[in-house]
Amino acid sequence: MTETPSRKTAPYQVLLMFAILIATIALGFFMMPSSQEERDRLLGELGTTNHGTLLKPAKEITALSLLDENGAPWEFKDQKSKWRMLIIPAAGGCDSDCEQLLYLSRQVHVRLAKHSNRLERAFVATEGLPGPALSKEIADNHPHIRVLHTSAANLAAWLEGSGSRAAEGVAEVVLVDTSGLAMMVYDKRHDGNDMLEDISHLLKYSPQ
């Protein structure tokens, strides 16, 4: 008894599916920029620079010398591969602009839906750990956020000449890619839709 045409073609269909899957993964890796110039070009093509402010040059998160809540060094190499939103308060503490950015970043995280596990939020204090009132606010309304801290001097040096206004005392959200490069910054001039559109575009073209 001869095989039906559908049985004969089945192995080829499986091979074709594997080939498409492998090609898609490879394309994702090739599309990831390997230099600052390629990163700027990719962001420009995606149109994301219409919303967030592109940091030029991008900044290595390892140079920020972050500490965790216990005062131990927070090592980027030991973390899961994720995109990150660093919420940086205004000079003097988390003012109303900072609170708004905390809220917006949480809403963006939720609206990423099935992709939300690819993003982590971190509150970066610059004058020691948050005080009792802010700690309660974070615990009550932002239970999944990570709390880190560094010195104001470290932050200013890290963002110097990049286009960020955090060193001037402005509350900001800094977007960091999976390789640890801070690439985009948002402040009170941006809304949640601005952030969501940018991050959704970047996640779409990122293999991780």
- Banded pLDDT at 26 (limits 50, 70, 90): very low
Shared domain check, 140 and 47: yes
CATH number at residue 131: 3.40.30.10
Shared domain check, 70 and 105: yes
Quickly list DSSP for 28-97.
HHHHS-SSHHHHHHHHHHHTGGGTSEEEEEEEEGGGG--B-TTS-B--GGGS-S-EEEEEEPBTTB--HH
Tell me, what's the pLDDT at 46? 52
Report residue 64 CA to chain centroid gap. 15
Per cent of the chain over pLDDT 70 is: 75
Shared domain check, 23 and 37: no
How is residue 30 written in tokens?
Answer: 């090739």
Shared domain check, 76 and 159: yes
Shared domain check, 59 and 10: no
Q: How many domains does the chain have?
A: 2
Shared domain check, 19 and 101: no
Shared domain check, 67 and 149: yes
The more confidently predicted of residues 13 and 123 is 123
**CB-CB neighbours of 41 under 10 Å:** 12
d(CA 63, CA 76): 10
Shared domain check, 160 and 69: yes
Shared domain check, 161 and 86: yes
Decide if pLDDT at 153 tops 70: yes
- Residue 122, CA distances (Å) to 51, 65, 131, 197 in order: 21, 14, 16, 20
**CB-CB neighbours of 44 under 10 Å:** 12
- pLDDT (tens digit per residue) in 120-135: 999 999 877 888 888 9
Decide if pLDDT at 161 tops 90: no
Shared domain check, 122 and 41: yes
Tell me, what's the pLDDT at 79? 95
Please choose, from the candidates 71, 72, 73, 53, the residue with its C-alpha nearest in 3D space to the C-alpha of residue 173.
53
Number of helices (H) and strands (E) in the chain: give both, helices first.
6, 6
Tell me, what's the pLDDT at 19? 54
Shared domain check, 183 and 118: yes
Report residue 163 CA to chain centroid gap. 17
Tell me, what's the pLDDT at 48? 43
- Banded pLDDT at 102 (limits 50, 70, 90): very high
Shared domain check, 80 and 182: yes
Tell me, what's the pLDDT at 24? 45
Question: Structural domain of residue 11, as residue ranges?
Answer: 1-31
Over residues 25-37, mean pLDDT: 48
Over residues 21-35, mean pLDDT: 47
- pLDDT (tens digit per residue) in 36-87: 555 555 555 555 446 888 888 899 999 999 999 999 999 999 999 999 999 9
How is residue 82 written in tokens?
Answer: 């994720």
